[in-house]
Amino acid sequence: MAALVALSLPVFSASAQQQAPPAPAAEQPGPSLSAPAPSAPTFPKPDPANFTASSPTKETIDAFLTASWGFDTRRVWQVQAILKTPVEGVSKVVIFVGDKTGKQKPTALQFFALPDGKHIISGDDIIAFGENPFAGDRAILQQRADGPYRGSASKDLELVEFADFQCPHCKDAQANMDKLAVDFPKARIIYQNYPLPQHKSAANAAAFGLCVAKLGGNDAFFSFATAVYDGQDGLATPDGATLTLNSAVTKAGLDPAKVAACAATPAIAASVEASVKLAKEMNINQTPTLIVNGRPVPVAGAPYETIKQIVEYQSKLDGVTK
């Protein structure tokens, strides 16, 4: 927990395909889903003189931390200070963080709360803040995440996977995505294209995928996606990419020539670019990235039970029945 970005980005693995350095990993959660109740370790007693700012309140901070960390029942914290700063409306917040087992030494973390009451600054990151910090991103994705999906038509529980067909860690993550589809049958699980510029065949693979969905439907898309990931090594060269994509289209039950013609249209190129723009506006800097009702959740490099637990916790916060 070296940086407070772990608040809203709990586990994202360093193995994910990145355009920027990853957030630090957090410890694995315990078996329960209830919010943590401080019992250990013993934190220093807060000094009332260190609570000079009226905003944010301790209650808001605790609600934010519960929303962000409550899935891990071993984690405990204490708000240590809410201080005025020389900048009007900007407050410095200090918290102590530890775990009930006592195995971790308590750590002091700090962030700066901004005047809008909706954001904090931690290091180089601006993070959504408040009692329901993920609501804003959830609303954006409900409106704009338009990739092929499986599962429910309802957006009450929406899992949006930003992925790149040429990203090895996206390939590895598909096993976890398949498990989520089984364990959360009421979820709407969206595949949102995010081809990274260093992967020369990724944008074309994304275009082919959108055309497969357009011509054959969502089921055909996921058959195509499985085949592309299975043959991912073939995307490394132009000729190999052509063979890999055409083979995947055939396995999805469609005509490669028709799909290739569709993929070459300006409309499909614009759709891929719009998906990339959405990812960037969401400040997503690595693939795969999974967003569950606005909340970043690890999908590569984390045990499946951890992923499932966080999804269940967010579902519970949002009042969604499994």
DSSP string, 2-58: -SGGGGTS----TTSEESSPPPPPPPPP-S--SPP---SSPPPPPPGGGB---SS-H
Q: Are residues 194 and 154 in the same domain?
A: yes
Helix, strand and coil in the chain, % to nearest 5: 40, 20, 40
Q: Are residues 87 and 148 in the same domain?
A: no
Q: Tell me whether residue 311 is in a domain.
A: no
- pLDDT tier at 322 (50, 70, 90 boundaries)? low
Question: pLDDT, tens digit, for every residue of 68-124?
Answer: 999 999 999 999 999 999 999 999 999 999 998 877 788 999 999 999 999 999 988
Q: Tell me whether residue 302 is in a domain.
A: no
Per-residue CA distances from 241 to 148, 198, 255, 267 (Å):
21, 15, 16, 22
| CA pair distance 162, 195, nearest whole angstrom | 9
Q: Tell me whether residue 308 is in a domain.
A: no
**Mean pLDDT of the region 161-183:** 97
Q: Tell me whether residue 277 is in a domain.
A: yes
**Mean pLDDT of the region 205-231:** 98
Q: Are residues 17 and 104 in the same domain?
A: yes
| CA pair distance 322, 152, nearest whole angstrom | 12
Q: Are residues 169 and 208 in the same domain?
A: yes
Q: Tell me whether residue 245 is in a domain.
A: yes
Is 90 exceeded by the pLDDT of residue 309? yes
**Mean pLDDT of the region 223-242:** 98
The pLDDT value recorded for residue 291 is 97
Structurally, the chain folds into a number of domains equal to 2
Domain boundary pick from 261, 281, 301:
281
Per-residue CA distances from 32 to 21, 175, 230, 291, 318 (Å):
31, 24, 36, 22, 17
CB 99 within 8 A of CB 27: yes
- pLDDT tier at 125 (50, 70, 90 boundaries)? confident
Q: Are residues 56 and 117 in the same domain?
A: yes
Higher pLDDT, 25 or 41: 41
Per-residue CA distances from 243 to 201, 237, 276, 280 (Å):
12, 10, 25, 30
Q: Tell me whether residue 309 is in a domain.
A: no
Q: Are residues 106 and 90 in the same domain?
A: yes
Q: Tell me whether residue 290 is in a domain.
A: no
Q: Are residues 153 and 277 in the same domain?
A: yes
| CATH number of the domain bearing residue 227 | 3.40.30.10
| CA pair distance 303, 124, nearest whole angstrom | 28
Q: Tell me whether residue 291 is in a domain.
A: no
| CA pair distance 269, 146, nearest whole angstrom | 14
The pLDDT value recorded for residue 321 is 76
Host domain of residue 31: 4-131
Is 80 exceeded by the pLDDT of residue 254? yes
